[in-house]
Amino acid sequence: MKRALLLLLISSGRAAARQGPPPAIDPRVDATFQIYDRGDKAAAKRELDKLLVAAASDPAAMVLLAHGLDMRQEYAWAEPFARRAVLLRPDFAPCQYALGVSLLFTDHVEEAERVLRAAAGRFAGTQDEPDLVFSLAMACVLQNKRLEGGLTFAKAIELQPKNALYRFSAAENDRNLKRLAEAEAGFRLAMTLEPPHADAAWKLAMTLAELGRFAEAEPLFQRAIAQGTPASRQSAAYQFAVFLFERGRAQEALPLLQALVKARPADRMAWNYLARTLRALGHKEESAAALKRYQSLQAEFDRTETDYLLGLIRAQRSGGRAPDGKQMPERH
C-alpha cells in the first residue's frame, strides 16, 4: 500500500464519510518514530512497548505504528500492533493489510495468506482491493505456489493495469517459471510506466541474457548501473559482472566487483565472483584473500540458515509458530 495511504484512509473525507469522524492520533506515535530515526532503537522499543498498552484502544495509533515499523523493516515489532489493530477494527482494510505484511516479512507466510485471502474477499470492489490481492499473490509465490501466484498477480494487474510494481512482480514470477517471453514483456512495461520500477531494466537484461540475446542485454545492464537508485545500481552491477565473467570478460568484470565489495562488504556472492575473477586474471594471492572472505561469509550464512530451519522444526514439533522476526538470509 502506498506510504501515504494509511493516513489518507484514516483522515480523508472519504474514509470519514464511510466510517465516521477520524480518530485523534496519539502524539506519542510520531515521538517514538523520531527516537527510532535518531538511531536509539532500544529507547524506541521501550516506548513502543508502552504504547502497545497505553494506546491499546486506539486503532489509528495501532495501524500507524504497524505501518511505520513496516517502513523501517521492523516487521516483528510491527506484528503485535497489527494484530491489535485488526481486533479493534476488523472492518478497516489497512489493519488487515498491516497484519498481512508483517506476517509475510517474518516468514509466517501461511498465516499471511489466510489473512490476505480473507481480506481480499471482504474488501472486494473497494479501493483497498488491489494491494490486498497483490500481497496475496506475494504470499502464494513465497510458498512456491507460483502458478496460483501468477493468476493472482493477473487479477491485481486487472484492477490496476498501470502499477509498475504489480507488472514487475508478475514478470519476475514468469521469469522464475521460465516463461521468458511473458517476463520480457512485463519487465519492458514496468520500465515505461510512471513511475517506472527501479529494477526493471537489469531484470530485463537478465531475461534477455537467458534468451541468448546478449547484445540487447548489455546496454540495459549499463543503463541500470548509470540511472538506477543506489541499491538498484549495486544489484545491476553484480549481475552485469556475472554476465561479463561468464562470457570470458574477467578484466571488465573486475572493477565492478571491486567496487561492489567495497560498498557491500558482507555480500558473499560478490566476494565469490571477485575471487574467481582474480584467479582467472592470474592474481593468485588476491584471489585467495577474496576466497577466504567468501568462505567466512558463507559459513556465517550457513549457520544463520541452519538456526532458522531448526527453529522452524522446533516450532512445528511443539505446535507453535516460527521464531518471531527471523527472516531467511538474503540471496542473490
* Closest among 213, 270, 268, 281 to 239, alpha carbons compared: 270
The predicted pLDDT at position 277 comes to: 98
The runs of H, that is alpha helices, within 123-163 are: 129-142, 146-159
DSSP code, position 330 = P
Q: Which residues contact 267 (CB under 8 A, 6 or more apart)?
A: 238, 260, 261, 297
Q: Which domains does the chain have, with CATH numbers?
A: 5-160+167-234 (1.25.40.10), 248-312 (1.25.40)
Model confidence over 139-175: pLDDT tens digits? 999 999 999 999 999 999 999 999 999 999 999 999 9
The predicted pLDDT at position 320 comes to: 47
Distance CA 117, CA 176 (A): 23
E strands along 178-270, which residues? none
Tell the residue number behind the cell numbers 472519504, with chain if given: 14
Distance CA 223, CA 188 (A): 14
Q: How many Å is the Cα radius of gyration of the chain? A: 22
* Closest among 196, 247, 203, 197 to 221, alpha carbons compared: 203
How many helices (H) and strands (E) are present in the chain, helices listed first? Answer: 18, 0
Model confidence over 101-132: pLDDT tens digits? 999 998 899 999 999 999 999 999 999 999 99
Distance CA 19, CA 268 (A): 50
Q: Helix 109-122 to helix 93-105 angle, to the nearest 10 degrees?
A: 160
Positions in the chain short of pLDDT 70: 1-25, 305, 307-332
The predicted pLDDT at position 313 comes to: 54
The predicted pLDDT at position 290 comes to: 97
